[in-house]
Amino acid sequence: SEAERAYLAQALTQHTGTSKGKLPLKRLSISKMLSLPAIWAIFCSHMAFNFGVYFLTSWGPTYYKDSLGVRPEDASFAFFLPPALNFATKLLLNKPLERYMRASRHMTTLQCRRAFTVLGFGGSGLAMLLVIPAQSIFGAGGSTACWALTSAFAALHPAGFKANYMDIARTSSGVVSGLGNTFASLSSYVGPLLVAWLLRAFPSWLPVFATIASVNLAAATVFASFSTTTPVD
């Protein structure tokens, strides 16, 4: 948006010159970063995002085979639909929706970031919880629709917590992004182990879907409570 471009231009001017008498910005230490709730709001959201998205991309074939009796090679459209809907959401919805929020609803950048993040996590979590009920009513088509909706709602996050990385860090954005991706990668590693344990412990996919929805709810709550667009450095 124009407001974001103006902010980035101002931050770059402050960082690269002192012609107006402004002191150069100081980089935050890692220990200082890790003590800030706003930083952890992004990290927790990123970890929850990776947990849910990697489940969608990794466990789909197993779910279709075990729960629906559909072999992966026979479910090509079901596996094509979620990423296609994800791409379409990013391409066609995110920018117009943010423009509407700013122009018609007069929402601030922080309110937009929180709205996209909460809607993304809330919608994804609800769609996950509806997979089994939809399957019982509509069969494999119902499960596929919920699976695709989960992916579509996840596509809102680039305008939410992901964009917030650049809001709060001017001189330390690389370090903050690196730390965030590191924690998110740990979530990507632990997530499949947790799903496998849940499937061994319980004879149902419901605990798995409920866990993903709970993690999404927790991340949405943390981000809505502690996020900021005020630079921390």
Is the Cα torsion angle 187, 190, 195, 201 positive or negative in sign? negative
Output the tens digit of pLDDT for each of the chain's 233 residues: 777 777 767 666 655 444 454 545 567 788 888 899 999 999 999 999 999 999 999 999 999 999 999 998 899 999 999 999 999 999 999 999 999 999 999 999 999 999 999 999 999 999 999 999 999 999 999 999 999 999 999 999 999 999 999 999 888 888 899 999 999 999 999 999 999 999 999 989 999 999 999 999 999 999 999 999 999 87
Q: How does DSSP classify residue 69?
A: -
Secondary structure letter of residue 233 according to DSSP? -
SS3 label, residue 27: coil
Residues 52 and 120 sit within 8 Å (Cβ to Cβ): no
Q: What is the C-alpha to C-alpha distance for residues 61 and 72, in angstroms, rounded to an integer?
A: 5
| N-terminal to C-terminal alpha carbon distance within the chain | 23
Answer whether 1's CB lies under 8 Å from 99's CB. Answer: yes
Distance, in Å, from the CA atom of 220 to the CA atom of 94, rounded to the nearest integer, reads 18
For the whole model, what pTM was predicted? 0.87
Structure tokens at 194: 């947790």
Residue 208 to residue 128: CA distance in whole angstroms: 9
Q: What angle do CA 86, 87, 93 make, to 5 degrees?
A: 85
Cα gap 98→158, rounded to integer Å: 11
Tokens of 132: 């089994």
Other CB atoms within 10 Å distance of the CB of residue 115 = 19
- Helix or strand holding residue 21 (H, E): none
